[in-house]
Amino acid sequence: MKKVIVIGGGPAGMMAACRAAECGAEVTLLEKMNKLGLKFSLTGKGRCNITNTEPEIMTFIEKYGQNGKFLINAFNTFFNKELIQFLEKRGLVLKELSGGRIYPESDNSWNVVDVFADYLKKLGVHVQLESSVRELLHYKNVIGGVIHENGTLLADAVIIATGGNSYSQTGSSGDGYQFARVTGHKVTDLYPGLVPFNLLDMDTDLNGVKLKNVRGTVTTDDKILSEAFGEFYFTEWGADGSVILRLSRDVKEEIQEDFLTLHVDLKPALEEQKIHERILREINNNGKISYKSMLKEFLPEKMISFFITKTQIPEDTKIANITKEQRETIVRNLKNLTFTITGTRSFDEAIVTSGGVELSHIDPRTMESKKIKNLYFAGEVLNIDGDTGGYNLQAAFSTGYVAGENAAKEPHNNEEN
């Protein structure tokens, strides 16, 4: 019976351990923390957006950018439908929300972790908590086991599923990158991914303002780097929400080098001309009200004093007295409110790590390293990161499944090496 060690008890590691055990291996799962799935428990604000129902693999992989192609083989083996079946078969009731996002009906991510914990037990996987792996044992280009904080374990195959660098307090502190480097794998530059922005001179009045259905655009020197549509909110230091997280994926390199500009279109459904017409209607119908009162028609209450400062129109101006030039300023700011982005929040506030183990060093059919025999990688430790919407967990589950299945396989006698 083949002995397999899985390092890391997140979604990739738990799935890898289950699959390796289903395929007949004797499996030990080593987890650094005192619980399985700590980061997993935080996903989807504690509700866990497990996957997405998008049926086409080729459309699904677009959500990971250029590197999505690496996942085609894994998705052909174990995709969203298989993941849903896997969980439902073990009693988890799921629900679908807008945009094809799948959640547990209970809105409690711990229920998903429990499904895995129960199944691992049933399969006889040795789960060792508080067992941080310190070192890989390998001789030349063959893996032989690991040294962890409580001892040494020998194995025929090792799967590294240690996650990325973000939310390090959950245990995912980048150990797998070091294991990869010392065994001769390249690790690309690492950036906080799906991460909020710091904005220059944040007005404290804006803190907590939430906007639905806005368009965000990031530019540098008038060149558009990224555009996104959705929910947006201000914080004491800057901006967060689905729009910002999406934008952050596309500008991760540029944002390290320069201050970029964030443009917020507060009325993306309205052409400038329509807004002019609306203001003119207000002027005709209620000419005596103040500029400040009129803004209540256009903006959340908490944004009004900031907007008045931005447009430099005195708040008590009767709207009948607003000039054409001032009207243009109002429209311009509603359609294109600009902020200077000074950078992103740190890894500890990033949903994922962008970058990771170089994909050309890994066989996408098996997740085995091309450098070290019987060493496998799965999950966020790889140079794969996706959009919000359940894509990152699906990638972790799929690569974990493939790694587990292949790590458990007995070597063929005629295998070249």
Ligand X SMILES: Cc1cc2nc3c(=O)[nH]c(=O)nc-3n(C[C@H](O)[C@H](O)[C@H](O)COP(=O)(O)OP(=O)(O)OC[C@H]3O[C@@H](n4cnc5c(N)ncnc54)[C@H](O)[C@@H]3O)c2cc1C
Look at phi and psi of residue 120 and say left if phi exceeds 0, alpha if psi is from -120 to 50, else beta. alpha
Nearer to ligand X, 266 or 352 (CB): 352
Complex with ligand X: residue 165 or 217, whichever CB lies closer: 165
Among 5, 6, 20, 33, binds ligand X (CB under 6 A): 33
Rounded Cα distance between 7 and 175, Å, is 10
Sheet bearing 151-154, strands edge to edge: 133-139, 142-148, 151-154
Tokens at 104, concatenated: 């547990």
34: exposed, middle or buried (Cβ count in 10 Å: 0-12, 13-18, 19+): exposed
Q: Minimum distance from CB of 40 to ligand X (Å)?
A: 5
- 166 belongs to the binding site for ligand X (CB under 6 A): yes
Question: Which one, 245 or 331, has the nearer CB to ligand X?
Answer: 245
| Summary count for the chain: helices (H), strands (E) | 14, 19
Binding to ligand X by residue 162, rule CB under 6 A?
yes
CB atoms within 10 A of CB 343: 17
Site for ligand X in 83-112 (CB under 6 A): none
Closest to 90 measured CA to CA, from 109, 116, 64: 116
Contact letters for ligand X, residues 253-282 (x by CB under 6 A): ------------------------------
Judged by CB under 6 A, which stretch of 34-42, 55-63, 230-238, 407-415 contacts ligand X?
34-42
Distance between CA 378 and CA 364 in Å, rounded?
Answer: 10
Q: Which is nearer to ligand X, 228 or 264 (CB)?
A: 228
Query: How far is residue 7's CA from residue 1's CA, in Å, rounded to a whole number?
Result: 19
- Among the listed residues 49, 242, 369, 398, the single contact to ligand X using CB under 6 A: 49
Instruction: For residue 174, give both structure tokens.
Output: 């980048």
Region near ligand X per CB under 6 A, out of 155-163, 198-206, 290-298, 309-317: 155-163
Is-contact 118 128, C-beta < 8 A? no
How far is Cα 207 from Cα 368, in angstroms, rounded to an integer? 47
Q: Does 68 bind ligand X (CB under 6 A)?
A: no
Q: Give whichever of 237 and 298 is closer to ligand X, judged by the CB atom.
A: 237
* Near ligand X by CB under 6 A: residue from 4, 5, 6, 10: 10
Token pair in block for residue 331? 């429209």
- The reply to whether 43 sits near ligand X by the rule CB under 6 A is yes
User: How many Cβ atoms are within 10 Å of 132's Cβ, its own excluded?
Assistant: 16
d(CA 395, CA 79): 9
What's the CA gap between 79 and 65, in Å, rounded? 18
Q: Which residue from 175, 240, 265, 368 is in contact with ligand X, where contact means CB under 6 A?
A: 175
Q: With binding defined as CB under 6 A, does residue 192 bind ligand X?
A: no
Site track 358-377 with ligand X (rule: CB under 6 A), x = hit? --------------------
- Within 13 Å of residue 141, how many CA atoms lie on the same side as its CB? 9
Q: Does 239 bind ligand X (CB under 6 A)?
A: no
Q: Is 153 in the site for ligand X (CB under 6 A)?
A: no
Does residue 39 belong to the site contacting ligand X (CB under 6 A)? Answer: yes
- Taking contact as CB under 6 A, which single stretch among the options 161-169, 205-213, 222-230, 263-271 is the one that binds ligand X? 161-169
Q: Cβ closer to ligand X: 3 or 267?
A: 3
- Residue numbers of the site for ligand X (CB under 6 A)? 7-13, 30-33, 38-40, 42-44, 48-49, 132-133, 161-163, 166-167, 171-172, 175, 351-352, 379-380, 390-393, 396
